[in-house]
Structure formats: C-alpha cells, structure tokens
Amino acid sequence: MSERVPPLLRKILNADIKITKKFVVLANNFLPLKSLRVHYKALEISCHGIPWFAFWIAFTWFFNNTSLVQLQVNMLIGLFLDIVLIALTKAFFRRRRPTSNKDDALGQIGPDVFSFPSGHASRAAMVAFVFINLYPLPIFCIPPLLAWTTSICISRVLMLRHHLLDVAAGVLLGILEGVILSIIWLEQSTAVSLMSYISDEKLDGGEFHV
C-alpha cells in the first residue's frame, strides 16, 4: 500500500502524523482541554451517524408538525448525503486510523474503519451550516452550536480517532455538503408533499389509513 503512495503525499501524511502527536501532547497539558476528557465518549455518540439517523427519523415521525417538516426532510437528505460521501471518500483513500486508536467506536464497520476524512467532523460542520445558514436558529443558540462543533472536532484528535488532516478535511467536506444542500434545499410545500406521501399510512385521511 505504501509503495503506491506518491512521495509528496507520503511526506504530507508523515508530517500530519507528527504534528498530530505534538498537538495531542500539548492539548493534554492545556487545562481547559483536559476537561474535555470526561466528555469524549458523550461527544462521540452525540455526533455519530447511527444515533443521528435514529433520532432524526424518530423526531420526524413523532413530531409531525407542518412548521418543522421542511427542516426534518432537508436534514434527512443532508444526513444521507453525508454518510454516502464519507463512505465513498474513506473507501477511496483507505487511510489507517492512528496507531494508538482503540477499536471501541460505535458501529465501526465497512469504510468507517478508515480515518480520512472524519465523519464526525463533516457531520458536525454540516449540521452547523444548516442551523446557521439554511434554517437559522435564534442567535443565542449559535455559540453553543459552535462550541459543540468545535468540541467534536478537537475530541476526534484527542481521542486518537483521527489525525488533524482527517478532521480538517471532514470540516471542509461538511461545509461542501451544506453548500450542496443549499442548492437542493426543498421548499416548504415540496417537503410537506413529500412527507405526506411517505407517511400516508399514519396520517388521518391518508389513502391507507385504517
């Protein structure tokens, strides 16, 4: 595998490994970042694809409110887009995770065993993009959202799940996903029609309602 890596790229990857190790050592000696340790696992779960999909499907199903449908449908599209792009990118690059990584992550199967790019970082960036640009939250919600996104990205490195370059690429991919989502963003009427079609069996008056 290493023989097929171009020399310049190999140098970049080796430098990334060294810089990541130095960053982890420095961060672990920095008091504010030490407090993140007890939250690593919670942060990991809070941005994992499986819980996000499960939560969002449940949220969409049980909170069948017309005012929320546009967000619900478009976010589902965004989550699906994120998983597809991450899976394809990881399968293509096949970069190994840091050697110190513990193989105890939730649902680490298929392409997810690879490191580049970080799916957590891309998902966090995409979610932040949506709630800042496409479906803006109240201004007082933005600082906690950005704090969560930043904590997710930093924790991926400090947990030794990823190298710095993996996380940076994940953030850029998440922003790209947000841009794509802004282009294909469904209008309220379209989202309502789509949701009505999908959930016809459970809606009063639906064609198959019993």
Active-site residues, by number, are: 120, 162
Residues 6+ apart with CB under 8 A from 24: 157, 158, 160
Encoded tokens for 89? 């990118």
CA distances for 133 relative to 84, 175, 185, angstroms: 22, 11, 12
Q: Give, rounded to a whole angstrom, the gap between the first and last alpha carbons of the chain.
A: 58
Encoded tokens for 145? 């959202």
* CA dihedral for 142, 146, 151, 153, sign (positive or negative): positive
